[in-house]
Chains A and B, each alone.
Chain A
Amino acid sequence: MPAEGVEERLTNLLAVTDTRLTRLDVDDLLVEVLERLRAILDADTAAVLLVQGSNDLVARAACGLEEEVRQGVRVPIGAGFAGTIAARRQPVILDRIDPTTVANPILWEKGIRHMLGVPLLAGDRLLGVLHVGRLQDRSFDLQDSELLQVAAERVAAAIQIRRTAVESAAAGLLERELLPTTLPQLPEIQFAARYAPAEDRSVGGDWYDAFLAPSGDLWAVIGDVAGHGLPSAVVVSRVKSALRSYAILGESTPRVLQMTNRKLVHFEVGTMVTVLCAVAKPPYQRFEICSAGHLPPVVTSSEGTHFISLQPGPPLGALVDVSYQSTHVELADGATMLLYTDGLVERRGEPLDRGMSRLTAAITEGSAESVCRDAMLHLIGDVLPQDDIALLAVGRPTAGDEPDEVVLGQAHFGAEHQSVAAARAFAVDALPDVDSDVRGALELLVSEVTTNCVVHAESAFTVRMFRSRQHLRVECTDEGGGTVTVRHAEPDDTQGRGMYFVQQLADRWGVREAAARRGKTVWFSLRLDASPFAAAAPTEGVEHV
Chain B
Amino acid sequence: MSDPVESGQAAAAVLTLSGDIDVAQSDAILAEGEALLASTSSGGRLLIEVGDVAFIDSSGLSSLLRLRRIASERDIEIVLRHVPHSMAVVLRLGGLEGVFTIA
Contact = CB atoms under 8 A, between A and B. Distances in A.
Interface of A: 417-418, 420-421, 424, 440, 443-444, 447-448, 451, 454-455, 489-495, 497-498, 500-501, 504-505, 533, 536-538, 541-545
Interface string B47-84: 00000000101110110011001000000000000110
B103 A538 contact: no
A448 B60 CA distance: 11
Given A418-B24, A492-B69, 5 more contacts: A448-B58, A492-B99, A497-B61, A501-B94, A543-B83
Contacts of A495: 58, 62
A100 to B, nearest CB: 73
Nearest to A443: B55
B102 interface: yes
A454 B24 CA distance: 10
B90 interface: yes
A545 B82 CA distance: 8
A38 B20 CA distance: 88
Contacts of B61: 497
Given A448-B57, A491-B98, A497-B58, A536 B24 contact: no
Interface in B1-36: 1, 20, 22-24
10 contacts: A420-B22, A444-B55, A455-B59, A494-B66, A495-B62, A500-B94, A536-B93, A537-B85, A537-B92, A543-B83
A212 to B, nearest CB: 15
Contacts of B58: 447-448, 451, 495, 497-498, 500-501
A542 B102 contact: yes
Contacts of A489: 94-95
A170 to B, nearest CB: 38
Contact of B88 (A421, A490, A493, A538): A538
Contacts of A455: 23, 59
Contact of A491 (B1, B82, B95): B95
Given A444-B90, A538-B97, A494 B62 contact: yes
B91 A542 contact: yes
Interface residues of B, number: 32
Contacts of A417: 22-24
Contacts, number: 93
Contacts of A421: 20, 22, 24
B96 A491 contact: yes
B89 interface: yes
Given A421-B20, A451-B58, A536 B82 contact: no
A500 B96 CA distance: 13
A454 B23 CA distance: 9
A137 to B, nearest CB: 81
B42 interface: no
| Shortest beta-carbon contacts, A-B, top 8 | A497-B58, A417-B24, A447-B57, A494-B65, A542-B88, A498-B58, A491-B99, A451-B23
B41 interface: no
Contacts of A533: 89
Given A501-B94, A542-B83, A537 B62 contact: no
Contacts of A447: 22, 55, 57-59
Nearest to B103: A545
B53 to A, nearest CB: 13
A446 to B, nearest CB: 9
